[in-house]
Chain A
């Protein structure tokens, strides 16, 4: 596509992932960060890199991944000069990204008033712009609860659990990207009716509530409260979850009658096909403890690899529960060139290259790294028409961050 300009004023994970996704489909991303760096740069997992004789460097893993291929300008948004630059950048954007994460120094109204007609302003927050709880403090952890996933995740007799990252925020960023691109598309075909600019109110809670399979349907249709079921899938399918082998865990997925038949034959247990306790997925779920203890010896006698191979050979969906380093070596992902080598402080790390490969987008992205804070401040201000003396003056006064690089 013709590269659209995205100016990202967000400070948290949802905005970072939204603009990352837009970058992977061909947009150009400029992060306009607060002068001390945005919140995401200093929160989340870090790795300390220590080269002999060099200072140690803490690498923030969330930002270093999400920011690959983006540019960064860093401004004191509270100053007149910073505000003027903010408005200039906003006016040139096709898509603006904003959020309510900690350290947000820009107000939504400022962006909306500066944005060009036909621009899209993505406003991400934990609870939305409107509603009695819009102002509530939120976080990546509480997102899982607010969206109804914590209640249904974890063991039946244990506490509610969550996934291993700010994934609801990422999902919100993805929905935001989809809607923003749809608006861009709409403007191509029908510019006269596009409101200008279009502000999109995206609440992470709303997005996660939207992303349930049949959780709410169980209640609206049958009054059933969906409960935690551990590593079982819940109510109507079994096995459809994780079972232990001799050296780890596998996932077995039996959803159809044919797959059930193949599973029994794969384990050389045809008698299970005649057992009334196990004749439907729902009945197997109801009798899961019995079922699991019957198949346990077969699984415990095999490694992950042996069990998965055998089940797959018999037409039963199965996969190993892999660790992160096993995934990095995974033959399917490597065969499809999924990994991208990214430069991190002089080292190369392998990260996912894209969620989806599209035509018209380069297979690799330059630069192959995330920018340091304000790395492109001078270039950006030059593009806006500032001369080098003006820029240096702003840097000297602490209104623009522009590290020497």
Chain B
């Protein structure tokens, strides 16, 4: 299988979604991504004596105490830090070095690895890497052509540089929430889309920097602001507002984006579908299908509502597809997992996950024109699961030296209770 980034090594110091996603994209294409993490980075498990699966039923949310990890069968198990979907989803194909970077010996180990890495990737707040003695100025001492990319919320410069951000924070700050939805209130998307966009942008920057280094021999420090990557999606809105001086109403904006004949409509049994007819030709076809004149938008709108309400979603979709009107059922997570088209495209791939067993995940979303895979699928690492291999093979440490590091608490495989 073609593995486009198989000779690329990344040291990744990331948490949550955006940073790990950038590293995951490189790892999926074959890169050796070493996820460098503190013993407590994945959480410290749940308090003893709590039995979160008692009374739990499949298909229901678990008790609050154990909900946020998203454990298989709601069961944290013996090693909860290895069983959380919120970690495992974003860290497949990677290796784990579990190390306390505040320990004196840890910095030397990290810099030795940096000497042998192409990329150092972090999504910490701007001061953190430098305060650990592994900022760009430290890295170039050991590796003059290293590419260091820092994916902070707001960037390393400017008055808000040290603010913590999350996806919803950036949806708000960027202005994109104010042009979304169709009500008086601003609207948040159902998943933290700024993280998704930041992650892809980080990966793209990494790929571009690698090509640049191939061409010139130069590494660089990349100061990625997740806010800026998200604002970049709405250039049309900024251009519109800049030229017109008019505020943007999300309802009117949606019509400008998607055409004035678009919406979510409810069919029988409470099933929803999405329809949009954007061109005059599509509008006429839709009007013919509904048996109403094409000229009146209001009449067409009422007709669509009534037409959908009188049908099953399946039959509505079938008719709309035959008429070549863009339409799609609004499917839930479970329904998409069972979708025939996505199954044909192998968009959900099962692989064995350490401490969990076989489980399905969304696949890397690019294949060749012939349908060949470009991505590999292997477990997200156990906490510290690759310590020994990495320290022996890359740092040249023998078994005694590695044991001493465990004993001194410099490296580990479990959370430490403080």
Contact = CB atoms under 8 A, between A and B. Distances in A.
Q: Do A and B interact?
A: yes
A336 B211 contact: no
A161 B203 contact: no
A182 B330 contact: no
B366 A165 contact: no
Contacts of B191: 149, 152, 211-213, 215
A373 to B, nearest CB: 18
Given A112-B369, A282-B63, A352-B228, 9 more contacts: A132-B344, A139-B258, A164-B181, A188-B214, A225-B59, A319-B173, A323-B248, A349-B238, A356-B229
Contacts of A88: none
Interface stretch (B98-106, B107-115, B218-226, B401-409): B218-226
B365 A203 contact: yes
A137 B191 CA distance: 25
Nearest to A27: B208
Contacts of A347: 243
A77 interface: no
Given A62-B236, A217-B70, A217-B85, A286 B200 contact: no
A272 interface: no
A149 B192 CA distance: 11
Contact of A2 (B189, B215, B368): B215
Interface in B310-337: 321, 324-334, 336-337
Given A65-B236, A326-B175, A236 B68 contact: yes
Interface string A118-133: 0001010001111111
Contacts of A167: 193, 197, 233
CB-CB nearest 6 A-B residue pairs: A152-B190, A199-B369, A282-B64, A217-B85, A251-B172, A181-B207
Contacts of B172: 242, 249-251, 319-322
Contact of A358 (B74, B208, B341, B344): B208
Contacts of B203: 178
A148 B416 CA distance: 38
Interface stretch (B293-301, B355-363, B388-396): B355-363
A195 B229 CA distance: 32
A138 B324 CA distance: 9
B334 to A, nearest CB: 5
A354 B205 contact: no
Interface in B359-386: 359-371, 374
Q: B68, B200, B244, B253 — which one has the most chain A CB atoms within 10 A of its CB?
A: B200
Contacts of A190: 7
Given A327-B231, A338-B231, A352-B228, A286 B64 contact: yes
A88 to B, nearest CB: 22
Contacts of A137: 321, 324-327
Interface stretch (A44-52, A289-297, A394-402): A44-52
A137 B86 CA distance: 34
Contact of B240 (A47, A229, A249, A250): A47
Contact of B188 (A195, A224, A231): A231
8 contacts: A61-B237, A137-B325, A199-B370, A233-B188, A253-B165, A325-B241, A330-B173, A352-B234
- Contact count band on A: 35 or more
Nearest to B153: A317
A231 B106 CA distance: 42
B238 A327 contact: yes
Contacts of B273: 145
A222 B74 contact: yes
A302 interface: no
A223 B229 contact: no
B17 to A, nearest CB: 6
A102 B81 CA distance: 48
Contacts of A136: 321, 328
Interface stretch (A28-36, A169-177, A379-387): A169-177
B164 A253 contact: yes
Contacts of B159: 331-332, 335
A233 B172 CA distance: 13
A160 B272 contact: yes
From B332, B360, B362, name the one whose CB has the most chain A CB atoms within 10 angstroms. Answer: B362
Nearest to A195: B2
A184 interface: yes
Contacts of B70: 214, 217-218, 221-222
B59 A65 contact: no
B247 A317 contact: no
A312 to B, nearest CB: 7
B73 interface: yes
A331 B157 CA distance: 11
Contacts of B365: 172, 175, 202-203, 206-207, 209-210
Nearest to B282: A137
A127 B365 CA distance: 11
B174 A351 contact: no
Interface string A302-318: 00000000001000011
A46 B175 CA distance: 19
A163 B169 contact: no
A211 B229 CA distance: 15
Interface string B36-50: 000000000000000
Contacts of A202: 365-366
